[in-house]
Structure 1
Amino acid sequence: MARLSLSSRLALLFAACTAVVSLTAGVLFNRASEAHFIELDQQSLDSKLQTFRSVLKGVASQADLSARQATLQSELSHQPDLALRLSGSDGVIWFDSLPTLPATLPTPHGLHTLHSTETDFRTYSALLEPEAVNSPQLTLLLDVTHHQHFLQRMQHLIWLTVGFSALATALLGAWAARSGLRPLRQMSEIAASVSASSLTTRLPQTEMPAELAELTHAFNAMFERLDDAFQRLSAFSADIAHELRTPLSNLLTHTQVTLTRPRSTEDYREALLGNLEELQWMAQMINDMLYLAKAEHGLLNPTRETLQLEDEADAVLEFFAPLAEDAQVRLSREGNATLAGDRNMLRRAISNLLDNALRFTPAGGQVAMRISRSDQGVQLSIENNGATIPAPALPHVFDRFFRADPARSEGSSEHAGLGLAITQSIIRAHGGQIRCESADGWTRFVIELPA
């Protein structure tokens, strides 16, 4: 069977609740009415009992009753809904005001209800003379058929009320539930309409009820993340195509030129070496992109070993010392700290930052590395003097293929703009953060790592 919709469930729940409440109220009212009638009958029979005790006072035998029978019949004639039975102490019936009375009546004293074929009676039995030892027993029978008919009609009315109220509540509940769930349907329609070309769609949060405000906010946040991821993916694809276009064009052109005429072995060797350089750069860029893809999917799992950060930094500085000397740039390092991390990954991050700093530091400039401890852990900063990065470009320096200098955006076979993105992935894999600051001719990259 198909599952019931939420509107149907709510409608059935409303109907069930209404039916239970209506039925409970009807039963309570019915019982209260019945108790009220019994109380009225008790009062009426109490007063009649006193009257008949006065009429039959002193009657101790059937002979005594014959002398009072005329008075008794006269009194009964004024009570058309009342019948009377007088029995001796031995149970023998002396007198029945109605010949159709049942042969057996409730024997215990007090008020009882008797259901016969066509008539319902309220019977009230008591001794004619309570003080006498062998007093005759007087039984009054009050016709309560009209009371019972009223209670039966009341019960029918209760069931009809329960049925109609449940049906009406179900219909109204279905309408109310459908109206109340309209924002959910709207959310479903908008979510169903979202595609790669319409990721900018947002749910109208101000029009949603308070109960759905948080869900709406979550949906809009999800759409924003999807839009951002799709934009990044589209930009990444375009950047890859852009970056690969130049080396592929170089390879094709170089190969076509080489093949235009027969050449010496040395010429072919030089051509292959040129192609090899381009292929190596392309292979490195592809490896870097795969590395970033692993980082984005949380597949970078750095090892944790205790490292002296100053030793790792000095090893990288030693590697870059010849390049710095050729570029007439002074390298320096100060401070020390201990942390747990992956040696190779941290060295790669520091190398990327130093390489970036050396490329943009003018001759005679300097690159300074500072290591210190902070409340959050360990801080490492690399700063260099040179051109200031424009403020609008600072949030994007860690984006893939980003270059702050547009003049360097074409055909660099040395730097594809992935170094800083890889560095950020490494630092995040270690649970740290990296930021860039640039002002007054100095650019500084700050790394914060947990100790």
Structure 2
Amino acid sequence: MTRPLSFLPLTDIAKLAVIDGTEVPSPLVCRERVKSNDQRCRRHYETLTPGRFAECPFGFTTKGFDVNGKKWAVSGVVAHPRFGSDREREVAKKYPANRVTRNSVDSVVKLADELVALKADALVEASKVLPQAFHELRKLNATIIQHAERAISDTGETRGLLSIKGAAELMRNNFDILEALSNIEGMRSLPLDSTVNLYDLAFKMKRIYQERAAARSMSIYVNGVRAIVKGSQKSFPLIPAVLLENAIKYGEKGQRIFITVQATGQRAIMVVENESRHRIDPVRCFERGVRFVNAVEGGGFGLFLAREVVASHFGSIRCEANDDVVKMIVNLPLSTIGRDFS
């Protein structure tokens, strides 16, 4: 919900922020009370019943509604028919530009409902078409990997074929990212019906990305314990893939990338560490559309997707940037420690 979508003033209840409508402004008293964090306003908005009209403590009409789980309210208007209170009569005289009908208020709520419905329909249609397209591309890519593996086994020739196989495996990771972007809601709801060995997965990602790292004279090192977490084999590999991709792309040439897996108490920790002279905002870097480096065009989705996948696994991800060292730290519930075969 954004300003151009409503001609009446709205309140973002979570942020307790008033937004002017395109045709009807929010009254000065609303802006001042909300800005000062007036507890009467806060209690009023937090106790609103979605879909019902209510009179605010200062006499204005309010109606709450939800958009994708986020609470909003049409507010700061004097709607007809009125409640009939003395406070309402007072604000009606003082703010004539805010007099509207209740039907006008309902039209804003209806528009929000229609947008939610349209989004749901679009997700359903995308879920029908895009997965099938990705499935066909995945099959073709898997065939390339299989042929490369067979040729390596039959002929013993490795250098060129390993490059082809590595490129195909990188493509498979890119398919995972594209599929996640096409259906984020579906990715969030994937069942955690398997286990993921963080060390083994990190080592697999090292093998996939080592040629790309070598092209920048970089080396990848994996160390730690075989921490095992409960998760989705379909979505979880996207996390180290994104973190390694960024470490190689934005790291310093000739430097080392370290992936460390630890187990502390009931938590599994995976850290991807590298040197980078690019400035990164440790908080905003996980927001959708925010790139690791502002001067680089495109992107802004990798870390956002990594955060979403981590959250769906009941974990957290954070960034530490000290001097030229960047650490991406993933924290997850630990299931067990696997056997070390080294």
Normalising by structure 1, what TM-score?
Answer: 0.38
Normalising by structure 2, what TM-score?
Answer: 0.49
Structure that is richer in helix per residue = 1
| Structure whose CA Rg is larger | 1
